[in-house]
Chains A and B, each alone.
Chain A
């Protein structure tokens, strides 16, 4: 049962244009969402996060939008740069009364920025 889904395995965007990566989730208990970027043979690195009490969070070229009613979030990168070419993972977490907060990831989207 895939609780976090990234339905686009790959995305190709021209340099300077906007990249939009999408993520859907099924668990309504998720209250914190994160995006990670991963280069080959390296561990994922954190990009940006959003709490369920907000619908938008911005950090430089990166903006994450959350639509709770649709259980959907998206990452916008503008303008896209060649160094943004990587695999992007969406992740979600639900607060628990006891124990560790489980962090669940999607399948990833491979973003390629073309010159």
Chain B
């Protein structure tokens, strides 16, 4: 059974803290993605990666960084958390080429609240 696992379901952090969100997949997928979901804005892509140590900026990378030291693990880092980063964070993984009968698999999400 396919699995993308995010380390926490719920997190509460203080403004200015450095925050790490971890994601692990067991499908040997090349691609991994971080999104955030906000009401009315849908899923917005923060960063993505197609290989170890490779990363690309998504549509809203400001205030975030990522790390991919191993193929199965993709970490999202909030360098200095701010209240406007309160959101649902979703990790996904896929094969490098999305084609017929393939899709991206999502983790269960991390609800982050910054106070």
- Chain A residues packing against B (C-beta within 8 Å): 6, 9, 32, 34, 36, 41-46, 49, 51, 89, 91, 93, 95, 99-108
Contacts and interface: CB of A to CB of B under 8 A. Distances in A.
A51 B108 CA distance: 27
B68 to A, nearest CB: 11
A105 B46 CA distance: 12
Interface of B: 4, 9, 30-31, 33, 35, 40-45, 48-50, 54, 56, 58-59, 90, 92, 94, 96-101, 103-109, 111
A93 B99 CA distance: 9
A49 B9 CA distance: 28
A6 B41 CA distance: 10
B107 to A, nearest CB: 5
26 contacts: A32-B98, A32-B99, A32-B100, A34-B103, A41-B108, A43-B90, A43-B92, A43-B108, A44-B43, A44-B106, A45-B106, A46-B104, A51-B99, A93-B98, A100-B31, A100-B48, A100-B49, A101-B31, A101-B94, A101-B96, A101-B98, A102-B45, A103-B98, A105-B45, A106-B42, A108-B42
